[in-house]
Homo-oligomer: A and B are copies of this chain.
Amino acid sequence: MSGSTIAFAGARIDRADAVRSDPAALEALMDWRARLLKLDGLDPEIGPDGGLVWGTLADADPASEIVFLGLLDGRGHFAEVQPKVGGSVAPANPRLWQAMAAMESEDLAIYGAARSLIDWHARHRFCAKSGHPTKLTKGGWQRSCSDAGCGAEHFPRVDPVTIMLVEHGGQLLLGRQPRFPARRFSALAGFIEPGESVEEAVAREIFEEAGVRVRDVSYVASQPWPFPSSLMIGCHSHTDDPALTIDTNELDEARWFTRAEVAEAMATGAAGGEGAAFIAPPRHAVAHHLLKWWLEQ
């Protein structure tokens, strides 16, 4: 599956890793040509064309910390961690979803990376090892403990998550999380834990949530997901026994759907026509791509 079809991926921006650890090079980029992403906390300012809005570093709150996003068209691109940002682990609000749905994929990718990074800074103003304040270093790709005796270095966090299709007799297992809108079903998902391979996490999550034992787990596609900073790892698997035992703490419902039902739900889209058995996941979600991939097999 091509990366460019996946929302939040495909940014043309050059992360210019070498600049981050070169204070002189970074400083030289922070001139009048530098562009600052206009944000209200974690939310993007939206221009008349529906895209992101860029200002200059002069627009930044003097109390903000500045993050280097990378190079684009030869200019440094930055974002600010405003003092008011407390960090959020909540999913996006409906207004943000609407704005993101109208954004070009390039803007969406830049915004997603910036949001994850800013949110991480806002939730890591103190050192988890010693409790002292931390300060932003390496253009925002590190935070360092301000206490010389501790000196701990902290790096932006990415949480790998498995999201997986389970197949049996040509049908797919999909579930409803309690927070989903009415009639929405999607692929089951869960965080990968320390000490697990991707394939083991897939098997554990499906058994925990639906009581189903899977085999032949295979990788399909991945996606960065900025709420707050997940790496979605999309997989496919099979089961020989379709009997379900639902964990009602995790899921309101889980069901097997035929190929025709999945095809109809994907064709009617988020509107969810009367005829469709369920409402498919939105096109921004990697689950949407997993279902599309499956229908094309």
Binding site for B on A (CB under 8 A): 3, 6, 8-11, 15, 17-18, 86-87, 109-110, 112-114, 116-117, 120, 123-134, 141, 152, 154-160, 191-200, 204, 208, 219, 221-224, 226, 229, 231, 233, 247, 249
Q: Is the CB of A130 within 8 A of B126?
A: yes
Q: Which of B3, B117, B192 contacts A195 (CB 8 A)?
A: B117
Given the known interface contacts A126-B129, A158-B159, A192-B158, the answer about A197 and B226 at a Cβ–Cβ threshold of 8 Å is no
Q: Is the CB of A192 within 8 A of B128?
A: no
Given the known interface contacts A123-B152, A131-B132, A131-B133, the answer about A222 and B198 at a Cβ–Cβ threshold of 8 Å is yes
List the number of copies, as a whole number: 2
Q: Is the CB of A197 within 8 A of B223?
A: yes
Q: Is the CB of B219 within 8 A of A197?
A: no
Q: Which residues of B contact A157 (CB under 8 A)?
A: 157, 159, 194
Q: Is the CB of B11 within 8 A of A195?
A: yes
- Which of A15, A123, A197, A200 has the most C-beta atoms of chain B within 10 angstroms of its own C-beta? A197
**28 A–B contact pairs at CB < 8 A?**
A17-B208, A87-B129, A112-B195, A114-B195, A116-B194, A116-B195, A120-B194, A123-B129, A125-B131, A126-B126, A126-B127, A126-B128, A126-B129, A126-B130, A127-B131, A141-B193, A157-B159, A158-B159, A158-B192, A160-B160, A194-B224, A194-B226, A195-B226, A196-B231, A197-B221, A197-B223, A198-B222, A219-B219
